[in-house]
Amino acid sequence: MLLPILAEASDKATWSFQWPQQNELLTWCQNMMPGTAMLLIVLGIIYLLFGYKIIKVLVILNALVLGAAVGAVIGHKGEAAIACAIIGAFAAAAIAWPAMKYAVALMGGLVGAMLGGIIWHAAALEPNLAWAGALVGLVGFGLLSFILFRGSVMMYTSLQGAVMLVFGVLGLMYKYQDIAPKLNSHLRVEPFLLPAAVFLPAMIGLIFQQHQTSPGGGGAGGGGHGGGGKK
């Protein structure tokens, strides 16, 4: 399902690199296809609950998507977005597999950049300088991956899973004509509702993963599998 999504994005995108506003994210959810919303929900649950156990699979999946997105951007002007997306996806996955620890650091850096930008906007700072907050988050979370690998992986996958789950649910809710206007009004009037909606499932996922991978939890074997060789 990734290729149709990228094809649609390459046709509609302006490829501007401004930090997205909450209204733009809500508009994206409104225009989301039901299949895309369901895919985000399923993947979000997987990232939330099993992020640390299957970290290698999820990192490769992230690398595929990131490489495909970069390839689509590069090939967009030459009208070869799909071909470049496929090449970029396989190239990114091939690089991420032998460099797993650095791939996790990159994933953490991207999550940190997202949080940095969100906090920057929440603090009502200059919107055009949101990249500064994102840069601080990128560097800080990227370095944290090397210091606290296990905890960082659970935090990153929980946050990513929560974002995917919430956006997928919003994408489905916007398809109901009775719910969409009220939902849109509440989210636009009270901008802290969306971050709160992401934070709550992220905390639940983090606690669940911590319990499952702790020595006394039900997934002690999974913790040993995910953290082997990465202290």
Measured between alpha carbons, how far is 161 from 157 in angstroms, rounded to an integer? 6
Mean pLDDT, residues 207-213? 86
Q: Report whether 134 contacts 19 (CB < 8 A).
A: yes
CA dihedral 101, 103, 1, 17 (to 10 degrees): 160
Specify the 3-state DSSP secondary structure of 32: coil
Structure-model confidence comparison of residues 192 and 202, the more confident one: 202
> In whole angstroms, what is the distance from residue 163 CA to residue 194 CA?
10
Best CA proximity match to 180, nearest among 60, 57, 52, 29: 29
Nearest residue to 159 (alpha-carbon basis) of 101, 113, 191, 226: 113
pLDDT tops 60 at residue 3: no
- Which residues make Cβ contacts (< 8 Å) with residue 133, sequence separation at least 6? 116, 117, 119, 120, 125
Question: To 5 degrees, how large is the angle CA 32–CA 37–CA 43?
Answer: 140
Domain spans in the chain, listed from the N-terminal domain onward: 2-9+23-227
The residue among 208, 129, 169 whose CA lies nearest residue 26 is 169
193: pLDDT strictly greater than 90: no
Rounded to whole angstroms, the Cα distance separating 24 from 216 reads: 44
Q: What is the pLDDT of residue 168?
A: 92
| Alpha carbons 207 and 149: distance in angstroms, whole number | 16
Matching residue, tokens 């200059």: 126
pLDDT, position 216: 59
The pLDDT of residue 165: 93
Please count the residues of the chain. Answer: 231
What's the one-letter identity of residue 144? L
The pLDDT, as a whole number, for residue 140 is 87
**Where would I find the beta strands (DSSP E) of the chain?**
none
The reported pLDDT for the residue numbered 228 is 44
Residue 151 has pLDDT above 80, yes or no: yes
Provide the CB-side half-sphere exposure for 141 (13 A, CA): 26
Nearest to 77 by CA among 1, 151, 10, 19: 10
DSSP-assigned letter for residue 14: -
pLDDT band at 231, cuts 50/70/90? very low
CA distance 153 to 213: 12
The pLDDT tens digits of the residues spanning 58-97 come to 999 999 988 888 888 888 776 777 888 888 889 998 988 8
Q: What is the pLDDT of residue 225?
A: 43
Q: What is the pLDDT of residues 100-140, one digit of tens each?
A: 888 888 888 888 888 887 777 767 777 777 778 888 888 88
